[in-house]
Structure 1
């Protein structure tokens, strides 16, 4: 009798399930994986639902450790051990610093024979910029990282920065983020709909950014450059969206108050679920982050929508954009305003062609299907190496 194929079981341990870049990549990965060959479980350290329902709607188990509500980490660690014992994973995949460290602790305490993979999702320009607990977690992680089977990163720069502070150099892999080009695609009707909602004319130039409010995202740079551009291009509109990017944000409200020319020209949309539609309303997408980015999801999503992109030189933004976009040489608002003005002067047809080239680059190198296959091949390779008698599904 032919042996029934047994899926490879992968337990993903992640800090939270908000709509950040790492969390969205996890969502895209587990929902795109081959269900016949792989079984996934997601274990979340905190207690916020975030993307949980969307993941569960695909038949994937999501469990919460509620470490925010129950600060006694010992009891939460015991719960993690029980969840893993019930699931019996072949691979434990940590995500982000806290998720990685908890995955390591579980592996060392009980699951030493289970393959441990860490997934580091950000660059580390200056560890002192991180919160105190995160700094401690990073330093502890560096000390124990030699016990991790594979160190997985999404950016080349992130590898260099983490190894410089002591992270293991053993079996380091790089898998970039992937993008769903069926969701993120040029959509003229969405462009028209969002512009109509915001009262923006069809022929107006719109420049935008989608990013949660955080000092590292550097919204101040964006708004300062917007104020300068409006002096020469007064009909331009600007869209900013993301968690807490709203008129009620006191810092943003102060920035707008200090630049009265921005009133009526800057649209603060807060967090939106129709991200692709909002991106389609733009003529130029700009990422102004000061630090912390690994492989910026929003750049890839905007490129997939056919929107030409500019970015500060953070993470692997230059690698992603290649010659389809512009990497800014500094964080100066005058430089950014001049760059916007140069692109606007090229005209709508030129911007559309740049956007077409950007989408082609994503289709050629960064689709979610291609990136998911890299993860699946990694898991197959690891399991086959330590358990050569393990029955794996044949390639189809």
Structure 2
């Protein structure tokens, strides 16, 4: 097989909401030279907020029509047909479901093309996962003999998965990358978002971005944020993500419990915006970013905040601590008191000191996590696997 023609990469991903793994896939394809790589994306589930963006960028995309949580033989057979027609040089799975389906379809197609899995989270346990996801993770351990390579975006994830039963000796770590041209300090965006929310230019604003899911541990954030507010700090909070809205009864209950009789006064400081498509502007508007996650791989949103020059206070989930170490604050997972203390420390800092830390955070992203550098690591993996297949 000649390597003069573009390498064909078939990406198999669970779905296409605007979440971290899906955004990373989009960035990766943008970072791969289209004259050297031909990419095709298959989503197991139809729809998703990023679907249109993939199509607008001219990325070939189809779905298998699966219903969420309902794997089907017909979907596997459809993917087998796509494999036979596209004739990929690499099949790249994304997320547990996408990894599993990629391997199963490759096996039933009889195609010897190298399959690569991409695991996007740490594995502290399965307690926060749905029944199907727990069993897909277990099935992944059983089938992990099949992929030629298993990629992770956090070093801690490798040993956790090996301990869980995933095959040894075939793991590698490639961090996430960040679009520093899009995520950057932006005084105009800062003013516009604050005007929208009715927040003064000099008032401290703490932000968090992430879907409402147990892995993001919004309860931890609510308890820590409430503690900061109760100590008299002049601070407001902006919360962005799927189902992170004022109508979310669980979030309101957590905040009301934390504030007690004063809840009606303090709840005005919490701006729950739901999903937004202007995340760069949101990040540029805040003074401190908080990640309260119980489980992460390598969080895009933390790197994006850093890229905007925003200091971060985070839990040590996945690679988050490694990303922030020295240019922010890192506390233990599921410890709202420690998170509150660290948040308060940054809230009361002089603005110039926060800005200095934020500049250092952006410099770290520019130096270590550029799109070009991370895309080159994927390119190296793909070319090595194809060369081994040829030989």
1:276 aligns with 2:280: yes
1:357 to 356, 360, 373: 360
Is 1:121–1:153's contact at 8 Å kept on the other side of the alignment?
Answer: yes
| Alignment correspondent of 2:334 | 331
> Cα–Cα, structure 1 residues 321 and 64, in superposed 2: closer, same or farther, change >3 Å?
same
Separation in 2, partners of 1:74, 1:332 = 44
Contact 2:122/2:160, CA 8 A, preserved across alignment = yes
Instruction: Please report the TM-score for the alignment, with normalisation by the length of structure 1.
Output: 0.93
Does the 8 Å contact 1:307/1:358 carry over to 2?
Answer: yes
* Equivalent in 292, 301, 326 of residue 288 of structure 1: 292
Task: State the SS of the aligned residue for 2:246.
Answer: coil
Show structure 2 runs of 5+ residues with no match.
none
Distance 1:130 1:231 in 2: 33
Task: Work out whether residues 91 and 115 of structure 1, in 8 Å CA contact, stay in contact via their aligned partners in 2.
Answer: yes
Are the aligned partners of 1:70 and 1:76 in contact in 2 as well (CA < 8 Å)? no
CA contact (8 A) 2:83 2:109 kept: no
Q: Deviations over 1:36-61 (max 9, x none)?
A: 00000000101223212211222211
On the 8 A contact 1:123/1:158 being kept in 2, the answer is yes
RMSD: 1.7
Per the alignment, do residues 70 and 133 of structure 1 end up closer, same or farther by CA in structure 2, a change over 3 Å counting?
closer
Structure 1 residue 71, shift from structure 2 partner: 4.5
- Greater mean alpha carbon deviation, residues 226-235 or residues 78-87: 226-235
The one of 279, 298, 301 equivalent to 1:298 is 301
Q: Aligned equivalents of 2:242 and 2:29: distance in 1? A: 24
Q: Deviations over 1:326-385 (max 9, x none)?
A: 111353333222222222333101100000000000001001121111111111111122
Corresponding residue SS for 1:50: coil
Aligned mates of 2:325, 2:341 — CA distance in 1: 21
1:253 is displaced (CA, Å) by 2.4
Secondary structure, aligned partner of 1:310:
strand
Aligned residues: 385
How far apart, in 2, do the equivalents of 1:72 and 1:304 lie?
A: 38
**Structure 1 counterpart of 2:321:** 318
Q: Equivalent residue of 2:115, what SS? A: strand
* Cα distance change, pair 282–336 in 1 and its aligned pair in 2 (3 A): same
Q: Is the 8 A contact 2:11 2:42 kept in 1?
A: yes
- 4+ runs of 1 displaced by more than 6 Å? none
CA distance in 2, matches of 1:330, 1:256: 19
1:343 pairs with 2:352:
no
**Pairing of 1:93-108 with structure 2 (within 5 A):** 93-108=92-107
Distance 1:94 1:224, change over 3 A: same
Q: Distance in 1 between matches of 2:271 and 2:371?
A: 30
State which drifts further: 253-262 or 220-229: 253-262
Is 1:366 matched with 2:369?
Answer: yes
Q: Matches of residues 1-396 of structure 1 in structure 2 within 5 Å?
A: 5-68=4-67, 71=70, 73-258=72-257, 259=259, 260=263, 261-291=265-295, 293-329=296-332, 331-387=334-390
Q: TM-score, normalised by structure 2?
A: 0.95
Q: Are the counterparts in 2 of residues 47 and 69 from structure 1 also a CA contact under 8 Å?
A: no
